[in-house]
């Protein structure tokens, strides 16, 4: 059988994921690519230029970029694509260095809704930001550093027949070394990565990330597996599509990638916060718009909420809607929920159909089984906060919220084309 290789698009996605073990690293990588493409970063506390241009701001683990064309007026609509930079997993606790029976361990807290068992017996890393007493901030990552060891089958004879039960406080304490507790210092080690002292660290946001490389696999190389596909796949597709846009547009194009979606979005850098509305209001104000003008622009604007959805599982088909069964490789999803856990309505469905049609991309509809509660996205939050019509879309995944998820190898590229078509409305 031929060796399966990554396509250029998947190479780009794989590189993006590997550069983004935390939301802060993801924002740094997006900012790097925007800067290389000629975008200017604006501090939020400065006055902003009001002329046409390509610009972006960062707020913690979120980033918002925009292209303001020369033709923009006080009522020019916004064309927005939104995603999120965080993924479910674990976050480092205060006083993290502990010991148990000769093992040195790190205290971590569950972040969001990870599949616990998928994190076992993997070489994992710590990654995130350190804030020092002098107010400076540094991004750090350890590379392979920790592991959640599973109990051997000889000591848990019923595990394969009765199931694995994990208490997150008792059983999810990763090992990092052996010896007495005073021989190791997790925070000191992280500070040492940037030539600082642990005593200088005043705060940190450090998460656990899988270190395994993304890979293409399958009989015909039709699958792609990686950590953090939810939702770095959407961040990457949005970024690639956004960077391909021309300078002169009929609308103001906006890229928004939020933090904290996996824990409810109710933070200053989440979709329920003000980061996107702050940017849109300041752009509108720079154009000289009144509040009525801005509301007119919002009324004619669109937001695409880009987040992954579920592919039908071949071993658990009863968990899915019997008629709507997306498969990996079948094209991006249009996500629908009667209770508005997704923001798609009939107008949104038609808008997505037009975008995919222009791009030459087939898409699939996703709706949940009536007996299984539906998750949600940034879509309803953005629509509620701004009053902008929003449609929820994504690519189909298996093993969502696992330490390692999978999608169709062609889906990220198709999704990128569809997003580009949406942003470049004719």
pLDDT tens column, 317-350: 999 999 999 999 999 999 999 999 999 999 999 9
Residue 386: pLDDT above 70? Answer: yes
Range of weakest confidence among 80-94, 108-122, 136-150, 158-172: 158-172
Determine the Cα–Cα distance for residues 335 and 349; give it in Å rounded to an integer.
Answer: 9
Q: Are 351 and 319 in contact (CB under 8 A)?
A: no
Say if residue 66 is in the same domain as residue 127: no
Residue 49, H or E segment: none
Q: Is residue 216 part of a domain?
A: no
Say if residue 188 is in the same domain as residue 323: no
Burial-class residue 56 by CB neighbours within 10 Å (0-12, 13-18, 19+): buried
Which DSSP string do the residues of 168-226 spell out, in sequence order? Answer: TTTT---EEEES-GGG--HHHHHHHTTT--GGGEEEEEEEEEE-PPPEEESTTS-EEEE
The closest of 77, 29, 78, 35 to 54, measured between CA atoms, is 35
Torsion on CA atoms 2, 407, 112, 382, rounded to nearest 10: 140
Local confidence band at 182 (pLDDT 50, 70, 90 cut-offs)? confident
Domain boundary among 181, 210, 239: 210
Say if residue 198 is in the same domain as residue 343: no
Residue 387: pLDDT above 60? Answer: yes
pLDDT tens column, 280-291: 999 999 999 999
Determine the Cα–Cα distance for residues 349 and 300; give it in Å rounded to an integer.
Answer: 16
Residue 3: pLDDT above 60? Answer: no
Q: What is the CATH number of the domain that holds 50?
A: 3.40.630.10
Say if residue 83 is in the same domain as residue 103: no
Determine the Cα–Cα distance for residues 19 and 120; give it in Å rounded to an integer.
Answer: 23
Say if residue 290 is in the same domain as residue 403: yes
Q: Is residue 168 part of a domain?
A: yes
Q: What is the pLDDT of residue 101?
A: 94
Say if residue 156 is in the same domain as residue 81: no
> Pairing between strand 78-84 and 302-306?
parallel
Domain boundary among 179, 210, 241: 210
Q: Is residue 2 part of a domain?
A: no
Q: Is residue 53 part of a domain?
A: yes
Residue that has been written with the tokens 């509809």 in this structure: 365
Say if residue 32 is in the same domain as residue 165: no
Determine the Cα–Cα distance for residues 233 and 229; give it in Å rounded to an integer.
Answer: 5
Number of structural domains, the chain? 2
Q: What is the pLDDT of residue 34?
A: 98
Q: Is residue 15 part of a domain?
A: yes
pLDDT tens column, 236-269: 999 999 999 998 899 999 999 999 999 999 999 9
Q: What is the CATH number of the domain that holds 127?
A: 2.30.250.10
Q: Are 423 and 241 in contact (CB under 8 A)?
A: yes
Q: Identify the domain containing residue 249 by its residue range.
A: 8-87+227-423
Q: Is residue 150 part of a domain?
A: yes
Q: Is residue 40 part of a domain?
A: yes
Say if residue 155 is in the same domain as residue 67: no
Domain boundary among 178, 210, 242: 210
Q: Once rounded to an integer, what is the mean pLDDT over residues 18-36?
A: 98
Q: Is residue 399 part of a domain?
A: yes
Say if residue 265 is in the same domain as residue 306: yes
Higher-pLDDT residue of 21, 180: 21
Say if residue 293 is in the same domain as residue 364: yes
Residue 205: pLDDT above 70? Answer: yes
Q: What is the pLDDT of residue 1?
A: 40
Say if residue 125 is in the same domain as residue 80: no
Q: Are 10 and 18 in contact (CB under 8 A)?
A: no
Our measurement of the distance from residue 56's CA atom to the centroid of its chain's CA atoms, rounded to an integer in Å, reads 18
Q: What is the pLDDT of residue 6?
A: 86
Say if residue 201 is in the same domain as residue 94: yes
């Amino acid at each position: 059988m031929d060796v399966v290789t990554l396509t250029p698009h998947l190479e780009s996605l794989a590189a993006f994921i590997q550069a983004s073990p935390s939301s802060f690293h993801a924002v740094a990588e997006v900012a790097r690519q925007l800067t290389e493409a000629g975008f200017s970063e604006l501090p939020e506390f400065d006055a902003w230029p009001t002329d046409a241009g390509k610009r972006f701001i960062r707020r913690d683990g979120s980033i918002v970029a925009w292209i303001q064309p020369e033709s923009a007026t006080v009522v020019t609509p916004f064309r927005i694509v939104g995603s999120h930079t965080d993924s479910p997993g674990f976050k480092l606790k205060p006083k993290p260095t502990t010991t148990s029976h000769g093992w040195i361990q790190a205290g971590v807290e569950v972040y969001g809704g990870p599949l616990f068992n998928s994190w076992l017996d993997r070489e994992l890393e710590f990654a995130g930001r350190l804030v020092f007493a002098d107010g400076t901030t540094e991004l750090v990552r350890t590379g392979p550093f920790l592991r959640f060891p599973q109990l051997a089958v000889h000591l848990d004879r019923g595990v394969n027949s009765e199931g694995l039960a994990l208490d997150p406080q008792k059983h999810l304490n990763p090992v990092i070394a052996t010896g007495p507790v005073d021989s190791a210092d997790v925070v000191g080690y992280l500070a040492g990565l940037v030539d600082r002292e642990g005593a200088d660290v005043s705060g940190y946001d450090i998460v656990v990330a899988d270190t395994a490389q993304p890979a293409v696999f399958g009989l015909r190389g039709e699958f792609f597996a990686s950590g953090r596909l939810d939702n770095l796949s959407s961040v990457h597709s949005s970024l690639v599509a956004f960077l391909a846009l021309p300078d002169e547009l009929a609308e103001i194009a906006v890229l928004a990638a939020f933090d904290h979606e996996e824990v409810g979005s109710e933070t200053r850098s989440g979709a329920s916060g003000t980061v996107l509305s702050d940017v849109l209001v300041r752009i509108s104000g720079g154009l000289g718009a009144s509040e009525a003008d801005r509301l007119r622009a919002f009324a004619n604007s669109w937001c695409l909420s880009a987040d992954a959805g579920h592919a039908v599982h071949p071993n658990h088909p009863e968990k899915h809607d019997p008629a709507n069964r997306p498969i990996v490789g079948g094209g991006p999803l249009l996500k629908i929920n009667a209770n508005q856990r997704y923001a798609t309505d009939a107008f949104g469905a038609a808008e997505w159909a037009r975008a995919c049609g222009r791009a030459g991309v087939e898409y699939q509809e996703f709706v949940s089984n009536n007996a299984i509660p539906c998750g949600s996205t940034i879509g309803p939050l953005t629509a509620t906060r701004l009053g902008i019509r929003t449609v929820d879309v994504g690519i189909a995944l298996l093993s969502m919220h696992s330490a390692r998820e999978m999608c169709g190898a062609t889906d990220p590229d198709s999704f990128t084309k569809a997003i580009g078509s949406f942003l470049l409305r004719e």
